């Protein structure tokens, strides 16, 4: 099976072609990604209108390039998949419209994909991972712990009640005067700092429910920065290191709580998958590696380029859904909010 995937949920435009292997897993024949960091840098964050316009400008070119690099014509594609949410409505409409138009013109099936499901299933493409497993999804818009029990079968164990982890990293970076995007620059600056200098809070630590809260930690960083203003380079590095250390402690504690809830509920996940842009953070990955070693779990971390938003994960989710007959029609709508576990109401600023 060969699927073209389109991703336009936020500030990366991407088109990819993925082929399912007979033995399981997938081969990425092309994965074209155009980042919009330069367009949004002056504003210190993603501007939805600018993002939507950039998707319009880039997407057709990326689709043509993906097909050319994969060495296939549109007629050879078995289906077209596009992210239908959650995300910014303008961008979603660009990708959905393009995907539907291509599928209709080529007489191919169309699959509307939940962006979060694509993240959740990526490890099956890269590692042929069997169900069930647990996923920790960390990005600028999402922080969730989920049981992945099958395609379309998810149980949300915990999420954030305020800021997402990536959002907190970016806001701390902006607060401390670091370049956009803040998250990677906080991590780099933390390497020069003392993580023990500032006694920052660890919100929700020890709570039985595996939810997150990052707002109070972010506020504590702001209070320290205000107290020390003007900040020296050393103080900025120490604040970054102390903040990142607190986040690591929270992530491990919340993941431990989620594993307990999962096991008490009768699911015995054998692996923990990490996904989303924050999954590239080295300190968090190392801590999760130690945690998994102690907990008898296998840690599966897809390559960093597959942790951030990309068309390959959309194409793979399309393959997984196609195999189960889960095809969409051309009335499929965009969903700015679209939780994987439909039984739960969203609790994070209107984001799933």
Q: Please name the residues in contact with 296: beta carbons below 8 A apart, sequence gap of 6 or more.
A: none
Residue 347 has pLDDT above 80, yes or no: no
User: What is the rounded CA–CA span in Å between residue 7 and residue 34?
Assistant: 10
3-state secondary structure 307-322: HCCCHHHHHHHHHHHH
pLDDT band at 352 (very low <50, low <70, confident <90, very high): very low
- Same structural domain, 214 and 89: no
Torsion region of 145: left, alpha or beta (phi above 0 gives left; psi -120 to 50 gives alpha): beta
Is there a contact between 125 and 26 (Cβ–Cβ < 8 Å)?
A: yes
Q: Is the pLDDT of residue 110 over 70?
A: yes
The answer to whether residues 14 and 110 belong to one domain is yes
6 confidence band (pLDDT: 50, 70, 90): very high
pLDDT of residue 48: 86
Check whether residue 149 and residue 293 sit in a common domain: yes
Q: Is the predicted pLDDT of residue 350 greater than 70, yes or no?
A: no
Could you write out the DSSP letters of every residue in 83-136? EEESS-HHHHHHHHHHHHHHHHHHT--EEEEEHHHHHHHHHHHHH-PPSPEEEE
In a domain, 338, yes or no: no
pLDDT band at 348 (very low <50, low <70, confident <90, very high): very low
Predicted pLDDT at 345: 43
- Are 222 and 160 part of one and the same domain? yes
Q: Can you name the residues that pair with 145 across neighbouring β-strands?
A: 136, 158
- Note whether 51 and 196 are same-domain residues: no
Same structural domain, 19 and 140:
no
Pairing mode of beta strands 271-275, 133-138: parallel
Residues 149, 119 contacting (CB under 8 angstroms): no
Tell me, what's the pLDDT at 38?
Answer: 79
Asked whether residue 190 falls in the same domain as residue 270, the answer is yes
Contacts of 260 (CB under 8 A, 6+ apart): none
Q: What is the pLDDT of residues 255-285, one digit of tens each?
A: 999 999 999 999 889 999 999 889 989 999 9
Total domain count, the chain: 2
Joined tokens for residue 74: 């549109």
When pLDDT is averaged across residues 138-146 and rounded to a whole number, the result is 90
Average pLDDT, the chain: 93
Average pLDDT rounded to a whole number, residues 78-84: 98
Tokens for 247, please give them: 């986040």
- Could you read off the pLDDT of 198-257 as tens digits, one per residue? 999 999 999 999 999 999 999 999 999 999 999 999 999 999 999 999 999 999 999 999
Residues 168 and 317 in one domain: no
Range of the domain at 264: 131-304
Whether 220 and 110 share a structural domain: no
Query: Is residue 186 pLDDT above 70, yes or no?
Result: yes
What are 310-345's pLDDT values in tens digits? 999 999 999 999 999 999 999 999 999 998 887 764
What pLDDT is stored for residue 4 in this prediction? 98
The helix/strand/coil state of 177 is coil
Q: What is the pLDDT of residue 344?
A: 63
């Amino acid at each position: 099976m060969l699927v073209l995937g389109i991703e336009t949920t936020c500030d990366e435009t991407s088109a990819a072609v993925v082929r399912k292997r007979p033995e399981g897993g997938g081969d990425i024949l092309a994965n074209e990604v155009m980042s919009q960091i330069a367009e949004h840098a002056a504003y210190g964050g993603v501007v939805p209108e600018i993002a939507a316009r950039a998707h319009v400008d880039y997407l057709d070119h990326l689709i043509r390039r993906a097909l050319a690099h994969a060495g296939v014509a549109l007629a050879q594609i078995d289906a077209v998949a596009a992210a239908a949410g959650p995300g910014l409505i303008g961008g979603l409409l660009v990708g959905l419209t393009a995907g539907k138009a291509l599928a209709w013109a080529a007489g191919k099936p169309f699959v509307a994909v939940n962006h979060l499901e694509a993240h959740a299933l990526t490890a099956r493409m890269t590692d042929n991972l069997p169900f069930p497993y647990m996923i920790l999804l960390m990005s600028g818009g999402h922080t969730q712990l989920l049981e992945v029990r099958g395609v379309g079968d998810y149980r949300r164990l915990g999420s954030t009640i305020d800021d997402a982890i990536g959002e907190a990293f970016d806001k701390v970076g902006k607060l401390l005067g670091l370049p956009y995007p803040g998250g990677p620059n906080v991590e780099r600056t933390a390497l020069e700092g003392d993580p023990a200098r500032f006694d920052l809070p660890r919100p929700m630590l020890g709570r039985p429910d595996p939810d997150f809260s990052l707002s109070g930690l972010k506020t504590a960083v702001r209070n320290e920065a205000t107290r020390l203003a003007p900040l020296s380079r050393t103080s900025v590095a120490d604040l970054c290191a102390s903040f990142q250390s607190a986040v690591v402690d929270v992530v491990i504690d919340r993941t431990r709580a989620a594993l307990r809830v999962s096991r008490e509920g009768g699911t015995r996940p054998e692996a923990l998958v990490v996904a989303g842009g924050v999954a590239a953070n080295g300190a968090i990955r190392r801590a999760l590696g130690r945690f998994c070693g102690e907990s008898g779990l296998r840690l599966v971390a897809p390559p960093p380029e597959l942790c951030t938003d990309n068309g390959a994960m959309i194409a793979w989710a399309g393959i997984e859904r196609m195999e189960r007959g889960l095809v969409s029609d051309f009335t499929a709508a965009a969903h700015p909010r679209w939780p994987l576990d439909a039984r739960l109401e969203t609790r994070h600023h209107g984001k799933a």
